[in-house]
């Protein structure tokens, strides 16, 4: 029983981090119908930005509240800028082209980033994983029984941040003028432009928001995993993407629920079966969900227009 509870908690903690990355996928897909394959790699770049900031601050400063805030701020703003650049120079010129071209571009950016960061030329970090500095000291926040169930402070922090962001996003999308513009662009960006909505600005802002979120999620992941490497984005990104699709891509609460479900499924496979099957089960679960509900759990299948 205690074991089950522990797995539940670990699964939810893993799921919240997927959820934060998945939200970025879902926002961009919602607005642009683009699977931003490079999202996970933007996250990876954010983690390295945080890593560099942490070292620049030095051992004393990085543990303080101001230090942590600075690390998060640099990484999130840096990634927002990166997201803006990608949108402006890689995706915007392709907006009127077939959707496949933008997908291929995204895959290209993903490869250029993840493999480019493996080179050790100039400022690039090289292929070997590095230990992320301890910016939030891990403490056991809640212990039940004789260490039967342990909840860590970072698990609680991540969970609260993820839920907070989800609620915030939901509010942004459905209760603000910007959200209204986002939904209009998502519906039909040409008509939205005719109605006086600054489409380019809305899309660029969505990209920046999603990339900034990715950086924040990446830092939470690095705090949990303590190891950063250029390839981390490829796999965390893939999993988060799977989560977004399971929930129904383009659906904000769907992404979070999909991510939590995926985190739980993975944790149970690792806990009760074999960890080597984890990835296969994640993808198998995805295929199963899509076969039953082709649009994901909460998504709608758009009727095909002729």
Partner 1 sequence: MQTPALPLPESRPLVPPALRGVLPVLLAVPALVLFQWALSGSEFASYLLNVMGVNIILAVSLNIVNGMTGQFSIGHAGFMAVGAYIAGYASLQLKEVALSFLPVAASDQVLFTVALLLGGLAAAACGFLVGLPSLRLRGDYLAIVTLGFGEIIRVVVQNTDAFGRALGLSGIPQYASPSMVFFWVFLVVLAARRLAASSHGRSLWSIREDEVAAEAMGVDTTGYKVRAFVFSSFFAGIAGGLFAHFVPIINPGSFTFVRSMEIVVMVVLGGLGSTTGAVIAAIFLTLLPEGMRSLFGALGTEGSLAQRVDQIRMPIYGLLLVVLMLSRPQGLFGTREIWDVLPKWLSRKGGGRA
Burial class (CB in 10 A: 0-12, 13-18, 19+), 293: middle
Of 57-65, 130-138, 163-171, 236-244, the segment contacting partner 1 by CB under 8 A is 236-244
Answer for which of 100, 123, 128, 196 binds partner 1 (CB under 8 A) is 100
Contact status: 236 vs partner 1 (CB under 8 A): no
Min CB(130)–partner 1 separation in Å: 17
Which residue is listed with tokens 């860590």? Answer: 152
Min CB(110)–partner 1 separation in Å: 7
Contact status: 273 vs partner 1 (CB under 8 A): no
Q: How many residues bind partner 1 (CB under 8 A)?
A: 46
Tell me the C-alpha to C-alpha distance, in Å, between residue 23 and each of 15, 125, 165, 227: 12, 27, 9, 23
Burial class (CB in 10 A: 0-12, 13-18, 19+), 137: exposed
Min CB(227)–partner 1 separation in Å: 20
In the numeric block, which tokens belong to residue 256? Answer: 């979070």
Q: Please give the backbone phi and psi of residue 60, each rounded to the nearest 5 degrees, phi first.
A: -65, -50
Answer for which of 4, 66, 69, 101 binds partner 1 (CB under 8 A) is 101
Near partner 1 in 151-180, by CB under 8 A:
none
Show the site string, 124-143: x = touches partner 1 by CB under 8 A, - = not: ---x----------------
- How many residues can be counted in the chain? 306
Answer for which of 8, 85, 103, 172 binds partner 1 (CB under 8 A) is 103
Contact status: 61 vs partner 1 (CB under 8 A): no
Tell me the C-alpha to C-alpha distance, in Å, between residue 166 and each of 23, 141, 198: 8, 23, 25
Tell me the C-alpha to C-alpha distance, in Å, between residue 100 and each of 37, 199, 302: 12, 21, 18
Contact status: 85 vs partner 1 (CB under 8 A): no
Min CB(111)–partner 1 separation in Å: 3
Answer for which of 5, 8, 77, 115 binds partner 1 (CB under 8 A) is 115
Contact status: 28 vs partner 1 (CB under 8 A): no
Contact status: 90 vs partner 1 (CB under 8 A): yes
- Positions that interact with partner 1 (CB under 8 A): 35, 90, 93-94, 96-105, 107-116, 118-119, 127, 234, 238, 241-242, 245, 274, 276-277, 279-280, 283-284, 286-287, 290-291, 294, 304, 306
């Amino acid at each position: 029983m205690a074991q089950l509870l522990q797995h539940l908690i670990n699964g939810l903690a893993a799921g919240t981090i997927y959820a934060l990355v998945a939200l970025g996928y879902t926002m961009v897909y919602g607005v642009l119908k683009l699977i931003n394959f490079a999202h996970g790699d933007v996250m990876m770049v954010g983690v390295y930005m945080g890593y560099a900031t942490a070292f620049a601050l030095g051992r004393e400063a990085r543990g303080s509240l101001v230090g942590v805030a600075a690390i998060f701020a640099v990484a999130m703003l840096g990634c927002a800028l990166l997201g803006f650049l990608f949108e402006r120079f890689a995706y915007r010129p392709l907006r009127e082209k077939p959707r496949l071209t933008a997908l291929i571009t995204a895959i290209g950016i993903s490869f250029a980033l993840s493999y480019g960061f493996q080179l050790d030329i100039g400022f690039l970090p090289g292929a070997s994983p590095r230990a992320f500095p301890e910016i939030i000291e891990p403490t056991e926040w809640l212990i039940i029984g004789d260490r039967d169930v342990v909840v860590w402070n970072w698990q609680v922090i991540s969970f609260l941040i993820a839920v907070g962001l989800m609620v915030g996003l939901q509010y942004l999308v459905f209760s603000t003028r910007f959200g209204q513009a986002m939904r209009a662009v998502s519906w039909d960006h040409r008509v939205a432009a005719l109605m006086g909505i600054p489409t380019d600005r809305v899309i660029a802002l969505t990209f920046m928001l999603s990339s900034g979120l990715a950086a924040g999620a990446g830092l939470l992941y690095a705090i949990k995993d303590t190891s950063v490497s250029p390839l981390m984005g490829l796999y965390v990104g893939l999993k988060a993407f799977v989560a977004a699709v399971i929930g129904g891509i383009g659906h904000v609460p769907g992404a979070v629920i999909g991510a939590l479900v995926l985190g739980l499924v993975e944790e149970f496979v690792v806990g009760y079966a074999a960890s080597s099957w984890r990835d296969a089960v994640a993808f198998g679960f995805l295929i199963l969900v899509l076969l039953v509900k082709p649009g994901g759990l909460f998504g709608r299948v758009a009727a095909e227009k002729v």
